[in-house]
Amino acid sequence: MQRPPLLKDNMPRTPTSSSSTGLSRRHLLLAASAAVTPLWAQTPAWPNKPLRLIVPFPAGGTTDVLSRLMATEMTKLLGQPVVVENKPGAGTVIGVDAAAKASADGHTLVCIANSFCVNQTLAKNLPYDGLRDLRPVGLLAVADHVLATHPNSGIKNLNDVIALAKKSPGKLSYASFGNGTSAHLAGAMLASKTGLDLIHVPYKGQAPAMNDLMGGQVTLMFGNWPEFRHQIQAGKLVGVGMATAKRSPLAPDLPTLTEQGAALESNSWFGLMTRSGLPEDVVTRLNQTINKVLQSPALVQAIQDGGMTSLANTPERFATFIRSEIDKYAQVIRQANITSEG
């Protein structure tokens, strides 16, 4: 068996006493052990204090609920409390900035969504660099979007949308849960794919937008399938099509917009990031922890009940996903001339 480098057979040997020989051997063994000690064992213990999970959204929303479930399960696995802290405002910039300026010790996480990637292009004078100051940990879950309308619109499918828009140019409206949100950009993608002139009506959140959609104040809206499915199943809304490449197993009877001639994909996703500059072993352990949490009965049930899909993955795959999302939204924003004001 080959020996470690410090124990080569051709090392010079000198006469020694038994005590000095024992000391020399001990030194050699310690040196050899250090040479093969893995990186994680050479870094400070982690975690060694409570973790902070920043949610840049108001309490009670999908991101908040998912984050609190994650925090409960992570606490069990890490042996340290994981405390959720809501920091909404400025299109999630305030909360993300707090994470970007936290200590690079792996004890602060932030739950991001599509807005993180949109802000890289849309937001003016970001106080952080999302790709430099933050490190992807892992993607948590995805909620597919559905295009819906109210029952009195007469719209049943995408052809009906196109016919109505051409009949009344510049009058067909679509709601979103805010300027620059994924629902807003999905509507812009639909307009680009179909060549239609659609009017964007932004709201402060998905709930008020959905209320006006059901009331007929606006005609169309892209929204998260988890929140829309009950209204569609109850007949209070009509599903025009899923914004997915293939039919969703959560809505197998609802055709996709791609099937109907407008190839676009839109969804709401959620993931975790931490401050950049961490040792790789800490990032790896964080990723392994959240992947294990996603397999816990509590999270599996919550994600299924919410009509979402969990996506266990690596930090590298999540980083690639984030870059692709930034590029996708940048193209939509520039083509549609969308600004931070509307």
Answer yes or no: are the C-beta atoms of 181 and 255 closer than 8 Å.
Answer: no
H or E segment to which residue 67 belongs: helix 62-78
Structure confidence at residue 12 (pLDDT): 38
Structure confidence at residue 106 (pLDDT): 95
Structure confidence at residue 22 (pLDDT): 45
User: How many angstroms separate the CA atoms of 234 and 295, rounded?
Assistant: 31
User: How many angstroms separate the CA atoms of 116 and 54, rounded?
Assistant: 13
The residue with tokens 């309308």 is: 149
Structure confidence at residue 340 (pLDDT): 78
Answer yes or no: are the C-beta atoms of 56 and 87 closer than 8 Å.
Answer: yes
Structure confidence at residue 235 (pLDDT): 95
User: How many angstroms separate the CA atoms of 217 and 189, rounded?
Assistant: 22
Domains in the chain with CATH codes:
51-142+267-335 (3.40.190.150), 144-242 (3.40.190.10)
DSSP for 225-276? HHHHHHHHHTTSSEEEEE-SSS--TTSTTSPBTTTTT-----EEEEEEEEES
Structure confidence at residue 300 (pLDDT): 93
Structure confidence at residue 18 (pLDDT): 41
Answer yes or no: are the C-beta atoms of 173 and 155 closer than 8 Å.
Answer: no
Answer yes or no: are the C-beta atoms of 204 and 178 closer than 8 Å.
Answer: yes
How close are the terminal C-alpha atoms of the chain, in Å?
Answer: 70
What does R_g of the chain's alpha carbons equal in angstroms?
Answer: 26
User: How many angstroms separate the CA atoms of 210 and 225, rounded?
Assistant: 12
Give the global pTM: 0.82
Q: Are strands 267-275 and 134-149 parallel, antiparallel or unpaired?
A: antiparallel
Residues of the chain with pLDDT under 70: 1-44, 342
41 φψ region: left (φ > 0), alpha (ψ -120 to 50), beta (else): alpha
Q: At what angle do helices 280-293 and 315-335 cross, to 10 degrees?
A: 80
Is-cis flag, bond preceding 38, omega within 30? no
- Long-range CB pairs of 252-261, under 8 A, 24+ apart, other chains included: 254/146, 255/157, 257/147, 257/158, 257/190, 260/157, 260/158, 260/159, 261/158, 261/159, 261/194
- Give burial (CB, 10 Å; 0-12/13-18/19+) of 285: middle
